[in-house]
């Protein structure tokens, strides 16, 4: 068993299949070929390799779906892709379609630890009162023609405003992270952290409870357990001890 190192190409196939099966219930070779920009015969070859590694359920002329393990790996690739794309768009202001294609190449170069670091960084930029949206706008401005003095005047003004607003409101961060088990029925949360592991982690991921997904807490049973949540349109019922390991950002209604 062990390391399961996939080639860039196979990671991309997995990614493409993932994006198909979250919409349809099974992937067609033709659609995979079209999204991968390859001929159908290349898809057959890739599917054989993925099936050999137990990442897709496949046999000739049969339905193509992801196995449990395949779903897990695919989601990991997709997460790397999305985080990098987010960084390129939100922080560097690269345009969406270029960000997407560059992210899809970079995703194969980075470890999960580096992606976590990117995630934290984006989050930090969004939430730190010294940074935030206005700071990123400042960066755009800074990238312009003769920006320095002008930018800096704005920057310092903004700094003071932020400072005063923050002190007044008592809000130290721009948004607050909560654990899912602290959330009251009716609230929505954007998932940022998932510390579950093993089988439970997999199960939840498959149910759509992934980083970045938005979850609404629906009902809490009389004894606080189980808790019913809605994610991607599905109702799920989870034990409180598991919710404890999932964090997110509380969204305004």
Picking from 94, 85, 143, the residue whose alpha carbon sits closest to that of residue 119 is 85
165, 194, 227, 248 from 251: Cα distances, Å: 20, 17, 19, 9
User: Is the preceding omega at residue 121 within 30 degrees of 0, hence cis?
Assistant: no
State in angstroms the smallest separation of the CB of 46 from DNA: 6
State in angstroms the smallest separation of the CB of 179 from its own copies: 12
Per CB under 7 A, which region of 34-42, 69-77, 154-162, 230-238 contacts DNA?
34-42
Q: Does 110 bind DNA (CB under 7 A)?
A: no
Instruction: List residues near its own copies by CB under 8 A.
Output: 88, 91-94, 98, 102, 105-106, 108-111, 114, 117-118, 120-121, 124, 128-131, 135, 138-139, 142-143, 148-149, 152-153, 155-156, 158-160, 162-163, 166-167, 172-173, 176-177
State in angstroms the smallest separation of the CB of 113 from DNA: 23
> Of these partners, Mn ion, DNA, its own copies, none, which one is at the site of residue 158 (CB under 5 to 8 Å by kind)?
its own copies
Instruction: List residues near Mn ion by CB under 5 A.
Output: 12, 15, 81, 104, 107
> Of these partners, DNA, Mn ion, its own copies, none, which one is at the site of residue 230 (CB under 5 to 8 Å by kind)?
none
Contacts of 26 (CB under 8 A, 6+ apart): 63, 64, 65
Residue 46's SS3 state is: helix
Q: Given candidates 60, 198, 222, 233, which one binds DNA under the rule CB under 7 A?
A: 60
Contacts of 90 (CB under 8 A, 6+ apart): 122, 125, 126, 136
> Of these partners, DNA, Mn ion, its own copies, none, which one is at the site of residue 199 (CB under 5 to 8 Å by kind)?
none
Nearer to its own copies, 36 or 106 (CB): 106
The Cα 182–Cα 142 span in angstroms is 41
> Of these partners, DNA, its own copies, Mn ion, none, which one is at the site of residue 81 (CB under 5 to 8 Å by kind)?
Mn ion
Q: Does 47 bind DNA (CB under 7 A)?
A: yes
- DSSP at 203: H
Per CB under 7 A, which region of 28-36, 96-104, 118-126, 130-138 contacts DNA?
28-36
Q: Does 30 bind DNA (CB under 7 A)?
A: yes
Contacts of 92 (CB under 8 A, 6+ apart): none
The Cα 29–Cα 61 span in angstroms is 9
Q: Does 9 bind DNA (CB under 7 A)?
A: yes
| Interface ranges with DNA (CB under 7 A) | 7-10, 28-30, 33, 36-49, 58, 60-62
């Amino acid at each position: 068993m062990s390391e399961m190192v996939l080639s860039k190409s196979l990671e991309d196939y997995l990614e493409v299949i993932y994006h198909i099966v979250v919409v349809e219930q099974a992937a067609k070779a033709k659609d995979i070929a079209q999204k991968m920009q390859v001929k159908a015969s290349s898809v057959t070859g890739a599917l054989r390799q993925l099936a050999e590694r137990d990442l897709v359920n496949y046999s000739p002329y049969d339905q193509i779906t992801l196995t449990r393990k395949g779903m897990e790996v695919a989601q990991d690739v997709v997460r790397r892709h999305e985080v990098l794309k987010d960084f390129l768009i939100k922080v560097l202001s690269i345009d969406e379609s270029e960000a997407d294609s560059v992210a899809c190449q970079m995703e194969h170069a980075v470890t999960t630890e580096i992606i976590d670091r990117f995630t934290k960084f984006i989050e930090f930029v969004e939430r730190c009162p010294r940074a935030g949206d206005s700071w990123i706008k400042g960066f755009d401005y800074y990238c312009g023609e003769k920006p320095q003095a002008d930018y800096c005047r704005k920057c310092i003004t903004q700094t003071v405003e932020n400072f005063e607003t923050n002190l007044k409101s008592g809000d130290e961060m721009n948004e607050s992270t909560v654990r899912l088990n602290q959330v009251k029925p009716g609230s929505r949360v954007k998932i940022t952290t998932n510390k579950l592991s093993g089988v439970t982690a997999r199960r939840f991921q498959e149910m759509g409870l992934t980083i970045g997904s938005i979850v609404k807490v629906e009902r809490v049973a009389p004894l606080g357990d189980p808790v019913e949540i809605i994610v991607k349109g599905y109702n799920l019922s989870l034990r409180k001890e598991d919710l404890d390991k999932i964090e997110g950002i509380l969204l305004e209604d």
